């Protein structure tokens, strides 16, 4: 019988006898090691060994009979059936012939790799890791196994794990016949990541399906904590098209809490009664929690390997990696096809939006881009499945694969622990569940029987609200959206939404609001980072120290965070234009940032006070604007996103334009150099009246209709008392817009408008189209209605 196959002799075509996991390892060892990818050596115990085990113990009919008793409607006796089969297997004798062959292969591995090695013993079902189903975590793995006795114990337990409760139900749900699925075992040299780090890599964004990035995640110690969702991991995004082309293709660093570290047990191996006793979870030291696990060079290396693996398999991949603490090298320890994205209907885009406010209870990483409401059910173990009703919201410490039988019953899943690449997240995506993982305190702040609303519609962050809130659902058939000659662009503020909204019909981003990134991702006044020593509030200083701890200095924190948020937006829409408006906070809004009160003036009317361009060259803010410029230079020059254009808001006069442009040039942002284009907002009557002069200094005009209306009519746009006066259709406002568009055509300057009116009022859109506007930008929820209005206007004016 062919019971042992060394990895070097295995190919992907051997999946029927060694399972997807081992077949993939063999394929990589044999075909990709020459391309620089390091995979730990090992061997597989084939499916023949599993069938030999069952036949020698006369277990085939006994297992079949036990499975026949399973209630496949309610699964109420799943635990009883699964436990019974596992007991049968564990009380059976391990065949001497099979034991001898395994130990011979083990000794050969020791001779080849060195006497000090331990091994990972992993289950590889012969139906596992196929593109149709992930089988993620359905069977058991054992780490740091040393010695012949422990190796055979681990192999024996692997056979029993083919009948875990979750594996039985998974096969039923996916139409696999139990007795046609066998179990192969992989025995692989253990990478000593216990004192280093490990994690998971995806060759796309697994939440949105955006194919332009590699997602690298990981934590300190052995990788099971990341895979099982026991920790909130570090996350890094690398832009695939720019690998090997630019200095810095990493577009995001996200620090995880990494509270636990899985390390090898200090027990001597002869004292260990169970293979799982070989590892233990310890508290991660505070210093290591605030450190990234990988250097940028290592992140890029893993991304390059991921691309090679993806190209070889010709599909998106889910890859496990580990770093050896002894030699400092990186290794790929598993690779399987990514299984969830291929099932999605990309012709339909569903958009959800809360239409009433609620009290926020907790938040975490959001999966599912949806909103649901339901009753909280806090469960402490999968054995409590009877307590969960269809449509309840499952709340747990974490959801590892043991919880899989419950996932299809739950309307949503909320966990304290876990990340976007854990087994639980993978399976949640596979079954179409909405989830908020890694809340940290979900089981504490939520109560059994409480009604809550779970919102994962806003990109990577999921939020849990008290009560049943109202929301809107919009279903968009992408193919039915009309094409227009006028460019239709998006108004966006949150980079976490970018990958998903890039799926909508669009010509890029007409307005990316930098101040929202400063407020949400940074939260600190830039001058408080530049002049930290001036702060006197000890509480604020402590908070700033905490937020900036992982960076070499506080200015770098601001520049790097702003650059990465911008780069994520630019990557989502590349090579389409992304027009980034430099910060446009008013003084009272800046004062609300950490440390802000120490650097902001008191103003009676901030709306027409110290804002926009006037700040950029003024001593009170110039150094902060220079930090903004350094971030944008990093995005364009080092990260390679030349599709980023920069826009100046609230530029009152030509002299202001000159002053701002001089500061930008000083920072290395020179108009027309490396394709840099500068835009200016048209939101003050002076911008329209002197449009031809402004066109000498800017490549594009973006009409801000709200501010332009406010300043033309002298009417506060937020005043209910003046609501009858404040109208975008006022003749004087329309005249200024028409004037701007006419002068722009004369000077060859690009024109656009950002605002709600073109989606709300078809006649307003018709006015813009008739006057030859080049682009109109919409909020995502108004985009389709706006496109339809443009199409009607173009048809009416013969511009299609």
> What amino acid positions are annotated as catalytic residues?
423, 754
Pairing relationship of beta strands 750-754 and 775-778 according to DSSP bridges? parallel
- Helix, strand or coil for residue 421? coil
CA 668, 487, 204, 216 torsion-angle sign: positive
Tokens in use for 456?
């994962």
Decide the pairing of beta strands 317-323 and 330-337: antiparallel
Cβ atoms of 673 and 601 within 8 Å: the answer is no
DSSP string, 231-286: S--EEEEEEGGGTTTSS--EEEEE-----EEEEE-SS-GGG-SSGGGGEEEEEPPH
* Length in residues, the chain: 800
* Residue whose entry in the numeric block shows the structure tokens 């990895």: 7
- Contacts of residue 469, defined as CB under 8 A and 6 or more positions apart, other chains included, come to 354, 356, 357, 358, 371, 373, 453
Q: How many CB atoms neighbour CB 560 within 10 A?
A: 17
Q: Is the bond leading into 575 cis (omega within 30 degrees of zero)? A: yes
Token pair for residue 405? 């039988």
**3-class SS letters over 140-193:** CEEEEECCHHHHHHHHHHHHHHCCCHHHHHHHHHHCCCHHHCCEEEEEEECCCH
Comparing CA positions, the residue from 139, 323, 98 lying closest to residue 221 is 323
Closest CA to 498 of 641, 675, 360, 683: 641
In angstroms, rounded to a whole number, what is the distance separating the alpha carbons of residues 645 and 574? 12
Look-up of token digits 């990557």: 571
Q: Judging by DSSP bridges, how do beta strands 412-415 and 434-437 pair with one another? A: parallel
> 230, exposed or middle or buried, with CB in 10 Å at 0-12, 13-18, 19+?
buried
Contact criterion met (CB below 8 Å) for 657 and 648: yes
Distance CA 414, CA 441 (A): 10
Name the strand (E) or helix (H) holding 624: helix 622-633
């Amino acid at each position: 019988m062919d019971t042992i196959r060394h990895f070097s002799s295995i190919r992907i075509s051997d999946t029927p006898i060694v399972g997807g996991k081992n077949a993939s390892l063999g394929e990589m060892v044999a075909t990709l090691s020459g391309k620089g990818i390091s995979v730990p050596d090992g061997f597989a115990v084939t499916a023949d060994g599993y069938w030999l085990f069952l036949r020698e113990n006369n277990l085939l009919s006994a297992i079949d009979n036990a499975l026949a008793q399973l209630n496949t409607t309610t699964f109420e006796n799943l635990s009883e059936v699964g436990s019974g089969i596992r007991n049968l297997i564990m009380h059976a004798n391990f065949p001497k012939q099979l034991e001898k062959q395994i130990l011979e292969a083990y000794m050969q591995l020791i001779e080849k790799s060195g006497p000090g090695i331990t091994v990972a013993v992993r289950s590889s079902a012969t139906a596992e890791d196929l593109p149709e189903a992930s089988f993620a975590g359905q069977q058991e793995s054992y780490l740091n196994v040393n010695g012949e006795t422990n190796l055979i114990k681990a192999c024996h337990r692997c056979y029993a794990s083919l009948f875990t409760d979750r594996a039985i139900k998974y096969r039923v749900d996916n139409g696999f016949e139990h007795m046609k699925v066998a179990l192969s075992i992989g025995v692989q040299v253990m990478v000593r990541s216990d004192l280093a780090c490990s994690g998971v890599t995806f060759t796309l964004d697994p939440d949105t399906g955006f194919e332009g990035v590699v997602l690298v995640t990981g934590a300190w110690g052995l990788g099971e904590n990341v895979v099982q969702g026991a920790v909130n991991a570090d996350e890094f995004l690398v832009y695939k098209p720019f690998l090997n082309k630019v200095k810095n293709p990493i577009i995001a660093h996200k620090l995880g809490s990494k509270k636990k570290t899985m390390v090898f047990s200090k027990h001597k191996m002869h004292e260990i009664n169970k293979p799982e006793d070989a590892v233990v979870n310890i508290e991660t030291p505070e210093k290591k929690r605030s450190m990234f696990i990988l250097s940028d060079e290592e992140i890029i290396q893993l991304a390059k390997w991921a691309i090679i693996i993806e190209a070889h398999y010709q599909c998106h991949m889910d890859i496990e990696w580990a770093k050896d603490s002894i030699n400092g090298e990186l290794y790929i320890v598993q690779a399987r096809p990514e299984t969830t994205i291929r099932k999605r209907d990309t012709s339909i885009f569903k958009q959800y939006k809360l239409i009433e406010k609620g009290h926020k209870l907790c938040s975490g990483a959001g999966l599912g881009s949806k909103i649901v409401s339901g009753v909280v059910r806090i469960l402490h173990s999968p054995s409590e499945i009877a307590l969960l009703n269809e449509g309840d919201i499952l709340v747990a410490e974490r959801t590892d694969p043991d919880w899989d039988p419950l996932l299809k019953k739950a309307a949503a899943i909320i966990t304290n622990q876990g990340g976007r690449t854990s087994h639980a997240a993978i399976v949640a995506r596979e079954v179409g569940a909405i989830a908020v993982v890694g809340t940290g305190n979900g089981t504490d702040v939520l109560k059994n029987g409480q009604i809550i609303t779970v919102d994962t519609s806003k990109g990577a962050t999921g939020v849990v609200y008290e009560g049943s809130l109202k929301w809107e659902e919009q279903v968009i058939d992408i193919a039915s959206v009309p094409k227009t000659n006028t460019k239709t662009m998006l108004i966006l503020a949150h980079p976490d939404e970018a990958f998903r909204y890039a799926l909508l019909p669009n010509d890029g981003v007409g307005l990316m609001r930098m101040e929202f990134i400063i407020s949400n991702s940074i939260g600190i006044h830039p001058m408080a980072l530049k002049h930290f020593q001036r702060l006197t509030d000890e509480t604020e200083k402590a908070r700033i120290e905490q937020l900036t701890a992982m960076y070499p200095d506080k200015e770098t924190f601001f520049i790097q965070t702003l650059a990465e948020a911008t780069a994520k937006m630019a990557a989502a829409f590349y090579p389409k234009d992304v027009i980034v408006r430099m910060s446009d906070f008013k003084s009272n809004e800046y004062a609300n940032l950490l440390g802000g009160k120490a650097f902001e003036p008191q103003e009676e009317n901030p709306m027409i006070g110290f804002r926009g361009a006037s700040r950029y060259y003024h001593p009170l803010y110039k150094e902060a604007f220079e930090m903004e410029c350094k971030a944008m230079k990093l995005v364009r020059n080092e990260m390679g996103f030349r599709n980023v254009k920069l826009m100046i808001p609230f530029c009152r006069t030509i002299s202001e334009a000159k002053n701002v442009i001089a500061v930008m040039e000083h920072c290395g942002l020179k108009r027309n150099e490396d394709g840099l284009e500068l835009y200016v907002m048209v939101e003050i009557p002076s911008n329209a009246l002197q449009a031809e002069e402004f066109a000498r200094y800017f490549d594009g005009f973006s009409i801000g209709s709200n501010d332009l209306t406010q300043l033309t009519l002298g009417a506060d746009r937020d005043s209910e008392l003046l609501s009858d006066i404040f109208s975008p259709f006022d003749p004087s406002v329309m005249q200024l817009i028409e004037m701007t568009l006419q002068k722009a055509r004369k000077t060859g300057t690009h024109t656009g408008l950002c605002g709600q009116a073109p989606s709300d009022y078809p006649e307003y859109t018709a006015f813009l189209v008739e006057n030859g506007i080049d682009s109109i930008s919409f909020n995502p929820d108004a985009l389709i209605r706006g496109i339809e209005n443009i199409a009607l206007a173009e048809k009416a004016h013969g511009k299609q």
